[in-house]
Amino acid sequence: MLMSEELFGEGAWDLPRRLNPLDNLLWRSESDPQLRSPNMLVLLLDRAPEWERFAAGHEWATRMVPRLRERPTPPLLRPLAPVWIPDPEFDAGRHLRRAALPGPAGRRELLDLAEALITAPFDWSRPPWESLLIESVQWEGRAMAAWLIRYHHCLADGTVLLSWLDGLLSRSPEPRWDKLQPPPPEPRGTSRARLPLPDLVHEATQALHRPAHALAEKRRALRTVADVCIGQAGPLSPLLADRSSDRRVDLVKVPTEPLMASARAADVTLQDAIFAGVVGGFRRYHEQAGVAVPPTLATVMPLALHTGPARAGNRFGAIRLAAPMDDGDPRSRLTAVHDLIARAADAFSPAGLDALVTLASQLPAPLMKDMGRRLGRSYDLQVSTVGGFFRPLFVSGASVEDAFGVGPLPGSAAMAFVLPRPAGSSVTLTVDPAAVTDPPGLAECVEEGFAEVMHLAPDRAERSDP
């Protein structure tokens, strides 16, 4: 994607001032450690960027995407959503750090760092993001650097962040003297630090005229919409039943081309193949534990709902799936997964989800958190696939060699965050160790689950014939 004026020019200032209902729901959930929604992207670089150039690039990027210089501010009236306002003391340097891991540091040490950061709360007196450069790490036998970008989900979803990075990062290691320059700051008189008085009066009047029994109506409507939009996806696995607030992060690397070849051979999508590989890994994990494999695994899969340029915030839905787990035949599992996802996606109602999220975001905090915990514990696995980088990219002269994401775990036993790239797809497993008591064993099983799927690729199937 080329750098777009819609994303980075004058249009970068033309963003909604209020958090949308989904952003608001994610922001309000931050006070509950089990519902926090931090996201992280880790880029592996061929070398450490020159620090002054790296820091200057952050300052430039925050002017190209002004939302990075803003923070949510609580509303004056409870029914209203927070407002994004510029941080009057914003300093990009406060969000930027560099560090060295105790050496020799490799993949496990980097994952342990990601594990610690993903559970840490944000400082809400500042914009909710931070950037950390690890200047030396051993990655697959090479000395590399790692760039960790941690951001709160209310700021952006994965599609938005990758859209920003794809437009902001360079296509070559040399400095670009002709790159698009930031838009001028907004005039002080039109700052979004506060809403215009007519807008505030209008919203306050609407809030004051809501009937006193609105909460009871919202709760009834919430139950109705929830029954329609997020019905139970099947029984939970007894093996994955326990929950805690601890997290463990592991990484599985999968070659992308054989996975795509298997998908083509089975006439399904890459996303179907990814889903089937992860579910196959959970089947193997149950077998390894010596327990009966349940017929299905209660799973949630997000759906990207962006209809135009992904500029800021969140626009995604989710479908609940009773994933076929006890099917040991990868081809029939692929077909079943494809049909299951297609039916659920066709039946999905964005309007129904909008209604549900709008109602939930306006509930009192105790009710909202209780609903979030119940929803998060109503499934065992979430599988999120976000489009990755499909062209060479450079960060202040350093080449992006690899990447993986780390997603939140709002109550389920496990989250698989998948980032496909031509050189290989990253499958990051964030698990609750109370539910998944052998995280390294699960990672091995997921790797084997993908191997089952990739065995369907024509060239691999031919090599395995006697």
pLDDT at 443: 98
Question: With contact defined as beta carbons under 8 Å apart, do 279 and 324 qualify?
Answer: yes
- Cα 220 from Cα 198, distance rounded (Å): 33
pLDDT at 374: 86
Name the pTM for this structure: 0.87
pLDDT at 193: 42
| Residue extent(s) of CATH 3.30.559.30 domains in the chain | 214-464
| Positions of the chain with pLDDT under 50 | 1-2, 188-210, 212-213, 217, 220-221, 223-224, 227-229, 464-466
| Domain 5-208: CATH class, spelled out | alpha beta
- Cα 149 from Cα 169, distance rounded (Å): 14
* HSE-CB for 311 with a 13 A CA cutoff: 18
pLDDT at 369: 87
- Cα 139 from Cα 149, distance rounded (Å): 18
| Residue extent(s) of CATH 3.30.559.10 domains in the chain | 5-208
- Cα 388 from Cα 369, distance rounded (Å): 32
Residues 6+ apart with CB under 8 A from 10: 183
Residues 6+ apart with CB under 8 A from 414: 240, 282, 380, 381, 382, 429, 430, 431, 432, 435, 436, 442
Question: With contact defined as beta carbons under 8 Å apart, do 116 and 58 qualify?
Answer: no
pLDDT at 323: 96
Question: With contact defined as beta carbons under 8 Å apart, do 218 and 364 qualify?
Answer: no
| Domain 214-464: CATH class, spelled out | alpha beta
- Cα 7 from Cα 62, distance rounded (Å): 12
Question: With contact defined as beta carbons under 8 Å apart, do 233 and 322 qualify?
Answer: yes
